[in-house]
Amino acid sequence: MNEKRLSEAGQVVRRHDHDRYLTALFAETGHREELFALYAFNYEIAKTAEVVSESMLGHIRLQWWREALEGLFAGMPRRHYVLDALAEAAGQGRLSQAELNQLIDAREQDLDRQQPGNLEEFEAYGGATAVPLLRASLDLMSLSADRHESLYNATRHLGIAYATVGLLRAIPFHAAQRQILLPADHLAVAGVDTRQLLELRPQENLSGVVMRLGKRAQEHLDAARALVSSSKQGAPVLFHGSLARLYLKRLAAADYNPFDPKVAIASPTHMISLTWLRWRGRW
């Protein structure tokens, strides 16, 4: 798609969240721009911790978004490219204010920069940043939970898997920010030297942790597939799982070394892979 023909939201998602941009292309034309807007909203709040100099400023920024959502769902949206694009869906009841506020809650955790203590906390954080977004995507596409229960339930596993893979690929980025978002107990048991990690130096023990968390993400993908094997309408959501699986294969090929340059780079063949899966009616 020619970027000059994209909406502002589409351009933002294409530049900053390219994987989700690809998944949205498989939505019906009437929903595509709304998904772009939803993912642009997610990008705007997700970058908060990176663009503020102190946590208080981040809380102020996120509070602005909370108040903006109140106006949006009250039929009095503030002028913003994201809110403009979501106004119709909010007015028609195809968007949940609660789910969007859950995403803001998750991003407030980023401002505190607390390392998860165990797998449960790690997956809870990942799920909080991804599951409400996938469920909001279903709402936008009119795939309600009561009519598509299996697809809705699968989003929990898809969201955790997709977020887990994203966190594994972002290990060097977070370490460069003096931040570790891997479960502390896993690192301790494996004997990972956190000082070495923050110095961006690979270590074999870290690869073991990445492998175990990657296997856990695969378990979630398997659970999601057991709930729903295919859904043409739900492809934009299910394809988050497809992308997670492709990245897990790349991690395995890199011997689970998150510092391998090939791990972080998005593959130019992802669109081909998703198109092939869509043609086969799979994800």
What is the DSSP secondary-structure string of 225-236? HHH-S--STTHH
Count CB neighbours of 137 within 10 A. Answer: 25
Least confident segment among 80-84, 112-116, 231-235, 254-258: 112-116
The string of pLDDT tens digits covering residues 230-249 is 899 999 999 999 999 999 99
* pLDDT, tens digit (0-9, with 9 covering 90-100), for 40-60: 999 999 999 999 989 999 999
The one-character DSSP state at 47 is T
| pLDDT confidence of residue 268 | 85
Question: Whole-angstrom Cα distance, residue 110 to residue 113?
Answer: 5
Q: Which residue has the tokens 């505190």?
A: 112
Q: Look up tokens 């130096």; give the residue.
A: 201
Q: What are phi and psi of 168, to 5 degrees?
A: -65, -45
Q: What percent of the chain has pLDDT over 70?
A: 99
Distance CA 164, CA 151 (A): 20
Domains contained in the chain, CATH given: 7-113 (no CATH), 115-283 (1.10.600.10)
Query: Can you read off the two tokens belonging to residue 52?
Result: 């503020």
Q: What is the pTM of this model?
A: 0.94
Query: What tens digit of pLDDT does each residue of 133-189 get?
Result: 999 999 999 998 877 899 999 999 999 999 999 999 999 999 999 999 999 999 999
Cα distances from 189 to residues 14, 56, 193, 209, 230, in angstroms, run 39, 35, 11, 9, 39
Comparing 13-17, 112-116, 203-207, the range with the smallest average pLDDT is 112-116
Q: What is the chain's length?
A: 283
- Per residue in 200-227, pLDDT (tens digit) is 998 999 999 999 999 999 999 999 999 9
